[in-house]
Chain A
């Protein structure tokens, strides 16, 4: 198929209309020029990495788990994120957090975090992806977890579609990486670093190796973008930790994996 044609058309569109997006002043925009690097990230329509909300469902939707507000990224951290890269990464992190809250039917937390994500997406010039009706539905209709997941997934799909429309693969890739790491962070925290704590949770954590493989594949052509190279390095380190557990699934290797996830996540939320 003519994938090159699609990339060229996307490229023309983004290169000719780079200043139409709001919230991207050049001083704080370390994603400026992102559209020039479309060859760095493999066209991700081909590699459909998991969204943070889907990641949370696959990983931590488990009746033996519980909601702990103390472990998620506090909303007051949002004001610290003053570069577009940090905003993108933490949109993914907050989306994973609100998905975790929704799985335990924490309407108020879900609402507060979705509102924060709405503000952050608007800072990146993504308008109308999270609609007021989405927030109202969570606040006013007391949805169960399935309904909340539908609302969250729809709003995420709007964001994803907007970014694709505007050829902003780098932003969506960073959101997905942030979401992946945060969902894993929640899972390993709930596991308390022990694979014996909850067998189903351990199995789910190990299962996510395949989604990380797709992420690695999506990033394999990244060579000259410092921000993406740094994230790629994190992904590679996590993948190596998975390989170690494949070779020998010991308490020590599992604990090392959990520690690594904690370290990477701590670096993303500062």
Chain B
């Protein structure tokens, strides 16, 4: 009985600490790699924290508002152990405005021509066959200029 309780506490602790550790890595990823690619001397980082742990083969969509005549930079970065990420920016009709598969860049600079909600779709490429999928943090950092 006591042994089971101990096992439960240990598992809980390990799940908790590993999750917390991965999230702590996420804020580091945003503030170091993310802000470097953003170039904070030119772009003011927006305040929202858009980062989470993902595995190879995962994807995520982020819905975000962009305002007319504003200059934006969207940066998508992953932890060191992660493969190069792909991201697309589409409107709600799923028309593609930007595709990193075409440009091979981690960031996209643009001026929003109208007030619009857009979808930033990030995709972590699948792991090679017969290999265990790697997991790590993925962050989307958005900045704007005056």
Contacts and interface: CB of A to CB of B under 8 A. Distances in A.
Interface of A: 1-3, 6, 9-10, 12-13, 16-17, 45-54, 57-58, 146, 149-150, 152-154, 156-158, 160-161, 164-165, 207, 209-211, 213-214, 217
Interface stretch (B16-24, B77-85, B99-107): B16-24
Main DSSP-derived SS at the B contact region: mixed
Contact of A51 (B20, B48, B62, B117): B48
A13 B117 contact: no
Interface footprint category on B: 35 or more
B62 A48 contact: yes
A45 B63 CA distance: 8
Given A2-B55, A10-B19, A150 B63 contact: no
24 contacts: A1-B57, A3-B60, A9-B19, A13-B15, A16-B16, A45-B52, A48-B50, A50-B48, A51-B48, A57-B144, A146-B44, A149-B44, A150-B40, A153-B45, A157-B47, A157-B48, A160-B47, A160-B48, A161-B26, A161-B49, A164-B49, A210-B115, A210-B116, A213-B117
A214 B116 CA distance: 11
B4 interface: no
Contact of B47 (A2, A153, A165, A211): A153
A224 B84 CA distance: 41
Contact of A153 (B46, B54, B60): B46
